[in-house]
Amino acid sequence: MRHPTVLIAAAFSLVLAAPNIGAASFAIDSFSTPAGGQIASDAITDVNAGMNVLSGQPVLGGSREIIVLKTGQIGLGKQPVKASVNELDTGVFNFDQYSSTARGIGRLIYDGKADGLLTPKGFATGVDLTDGGTNLGFRFQDLKVTGSGLLLTVNLFNRTNGLAFSSGPQTLVNGFMGELVLPFASFTGAGGSGTASNVGAIEIVIDGSAVNASGSDLTFALFTSGTPGPPPVPEPTSLALLGCGVLLSGGYGLRRRVASSR
């Protein structure tokens, strides 16, 4: 069995691998602002949602709206459901049921407005997320899922008719880590197949309201339209650490062989 230090060094070198955005990607949000984070929380089960809306952000449409609604409580207490961006400057979006007893729904909206509402024709002009047919779907990079029962939906709204074109609810698997791509070709709805090249608003819905959504949590980093990216390319520091891990592994194996021959 390998020495634990070797496994830690190898794992740490992989963590430092840099994500590859891909030349064709159309950036929607890198979740790098604001400093200190944008946080919405709801601890009471009623019809009133918690929200945090910001304008002047370096995102598609210039505004980001985060809305959360607590839908249920298993047992006693008032544990919150929370959604946040760049909290503690981590550069990710996070949806957190916060405990095994809270249930709720989070919404992330891009429509060029900062009013806490979804405006289907919000963008000043229709946005072509396909970039002339180059980009084939939505990419969520560095997606991490903890717990079962979470559903993820992407809704696009046609800038001309205001109707939705949706991925439908996607079941997220506990323990998933990596890139998730939702092809535009799999979307359906009255907005029509031309919606991806004429978008008036984008809504991402994370639904953790199911009873079995116990302790569920997810995060994702750079959110783009694009095609599946290649495997991450390690930075020089990562390569150096990986080399150290290999050397440590070889050295430990050599010591074991020498010891066993005595």
User: What pLDDT, in 10s, does the model give residues 240-251?
Assistant: 433 444 344 444
Q: Which range marks the domain in which residue 108 is found?
A: 25-226
Residue 201 near residue 134, CB atoms below 8 Å: no
In a domain, 19, yes or no: no
In a domain, 190, yes or no: yes
> What CATH number does residue 111 fall under?
2.60.120
Task: Assess whether 143 and 244 both reside in one domain.
Answer: no
DSSP strand pairing (223-226 vs 137-146): antiparallel
The pair of structure tokens assigned to 121 is 């024709």
The pLDDT confidence band at residue 19, using thresholds 50, 70 and 90, is very low
Query: Into how many domains does the chain fold?
Result: 2
Task: Assess whether 79 and 189 both reside in one domain.
Answer: yes
Task: Assess whether 60 and 111 both reside in one domain.
Answer: yes
Task: Assess whether 144 and 54 both reside in one domain.
Answer: yes
Task: Assess whether 248 and 120 both reside in one domain.
Answer: no
**Is the pLDDT reported for residue 1 higher than 60?**
no
Please report the pLDDT score of residue 14 as a whole number: 26
The pair of structure tokens assigned to 183 is 């092809």
Please report the pLDDT score of residue 104 as a whole number: 95
**How many residues comprise the chain?**
262
Q: List C-alpha distances in Å: 136 to 129, 133, 183, 216.
A: 9, 7, 6, 29
Task: Assess whether 144 and 250 both reside in one domain.
Answer: no
Task: Assess whether 144 and 182 both reside in one domain.
Answer: yes
Task: Assess whether 157 and 245 both reside in one domain.
Answer: no
Residue 186 near residue 226, CB atoms below 8 Å: no
User: What pLDDT, in 10s, does the model give residues 110-157?
Assistant: 999 999 999 999 999 999 999 999 999 999 999 999 988 899 999 999
Task: Assess whether 189 and 257 both reside in one domain.
Answer: no
Number of Cβ within 10 Å of residue 174's Cβ equals 12
Task: Assess whether 221 and 244 both reside in one domain.
Answer: no
In a domain, 20, yes or no: no
The pair of structure tokens assigned to 231 is 């495997």
> Is the entire prediction scored with pTM above 0.85?
no
Phi and psi angles of residue 36, each rounded to the nearest 5 degrees, phi first: 90, -15
In a domain, 231, yes or no: no
Task: Assess whether 9 and 31 both reside in one domain.
Answer: no
Task: Assess whether 252 and 204 both reside in one domain.
Answer: no
